Structure 1
Amino acid sequence: MPLNIDDLVAIDFHTHAEEPCCGPRDDGYDEFQAGMANYFKNPAGAQGMLPTVQETASYYRERKIACVIFPVDAERETGFRRYENEEVARIAAENTDIMIPFASIDPAKGRLGAREARRLVREFGVKGFKFHPTMQGFYPYDRSAYPLYEAIAEEGAITLFHTGQTGVGAGMRGGMGMRLKYSNPIHLDDVAADFPDMPIILAHPSFPWQEEALSVATHKPNVYIDMSGWSPKYFPPILIRYANTMLKHKMLFGSDWPAITPDRWLKDFETIDIRDEVRPLILKENARRLLKL
Structure 2
Amino acid sequence: MTIDLESVRAIDVHVHAEVSCHDPEDPVMAEFFDAASAYFKMPRERPKLPEIAALYREKRIAFCLFTVDCESNLGARRVSNYEVADFAAENADICIPFASIDPHKGKLGAREARDLVENHGVRGFKFHHILQGIDPADRVAWPLYEVIAEYGLPAIFHTGHSGIGTGMRGGGGLRLKYGQPILVDDVAADFPDMKIILAHPSWPWTDESLSMALHKTNVFIDLSGWSPKYFPPQVVRYANGQLRDKVMFGSDFPVIHPDRWIDAARDAGFREDVLPGIMKNNAARVLGLA
Q: TM-score, length-normalised on structure 1?
A: 0.97
Counterpart residue identity of residue 148, structure 2? I
Find the partner of 2:232 among 236, 245, 252: 236
Deviations 1:79-133 (A, max 9, x none): 2100000001100110001000000000110100001100000011101100001
CA shift for structure 1 position 38: 1.3
CA distance in 2, matches of 1:166, 1:3: 31
Which residue in the other structure is 2:147 paired with?
A: 151
CA distance in 1 between partners of 2:228 and 2:86 (Å): 32
Post-superposition Cα deviations, 1:241-291, rounded to whole Å, max 9, x if no partner, equal 000001000001000000111011001011111111100000000011111
Deviation at 1:21, TM superposition (A): 4.9
Q: What's the % identity of the aligned pairs?
A: 57
SS of structure 1 residue aligned to 2:260: helix
> What residue in structure 1 maps to residue 128 of structure 2?
132
Task: Report if aligned partners of 2:150, 2:193 keep a CA contact under 8 Å in 1.
Answer: no
Count of aligned pairs: 289
> What is the deviation of 1:31?
2.4
Question: Cα RMSD between the aligned structures?
Answer: 1.0
1:142-166 Cα deviation digits (max 9, x unpaired): 1111111001111222111000001
For residues 21 and 182 of structure 1, the distance between their equivalents in structure 2, rounded to whole angstroms, comes to 31
SS across alignment from 1:6: coil
What amino acid maps onto 2:23 in structure 1?
A: G
Equivalence for 2:282: 286
- For 2:59, the equivalent position in structure 1 comes to 63
Distance in 2 (alpha carbons) for counterparts of 1:22 and 1:3:
26
Specify the alignment match of 1:200 in structure 2.
Answer: 196
Residue 9 of structure 1 is matched in structure 2 by: 9
Stretches of structure 2 lacking an aligned partner (at least 5 in a row): none
Q: 1:54: Cα distance to partner?
A: 1.4
Preserved CA contact (<8 Å) 2:193 2:218:
yes
- Which of the residues 169, 183, 187 maps onto 2:183? 187
Q: Does residue 23 of the first structure (1) align with residue 23 of the second (2)?
A: yes
Residue identity in the other structure for 1:34: D
1:27-67 residue CA offsets vs partner (Å, 9 max, x unmatched):
3432211111111111x2x2xx2111111001000000000
1:208–1:162: structure 2 CA closer, same or farther, 3 Å change rule? same
Q: What amino acid is aligned across from residue 220 of structure 1 in structure 2?
A: K
2:248 is the counterpart of 1:252: yes
Deviates more, 1:170-179 or 1:30-39: 30-39
In terms of mean alpha carbon deviation, does 273-282 or 147-156 score higher? Answer: 147-156
Residue deviations 1:174-223 (CA, integer Å, cap 9, x gap): 11101000010001111111011110000000010000110111101100
CA distance in 1, matches of 2:236, 2:31: 35
Aligned residue for 2:27, secondary structure, equals coil
**Aligned residue in 2 for 1:116:** 112
Aligned AA (2:275): R
For the 8 Å contact 1:21–1:84, the answer to whether it is kept is no
- Whole-angstrom CA distance in 1 between matches of 2:137 and 2:196: 13
CA distance in 2, matches of 1:134, 1:35: 16
Q: Structure 1, unaligned stretches of length 5 or more?
A: none
Between 1:138-147 and 1:225-234, the stretch displaced more is: 138-147
CA drift of 1:22 comes to 5.3
Give the Cα–Cα distance (whole angstroms) in 1 for the partners of residues 193 and 158 of structure 2: 20
Aligned match of 1:73 in 69, 74, 85? 69
**Structure 2 counterpart of 1:96, which letter?**
A
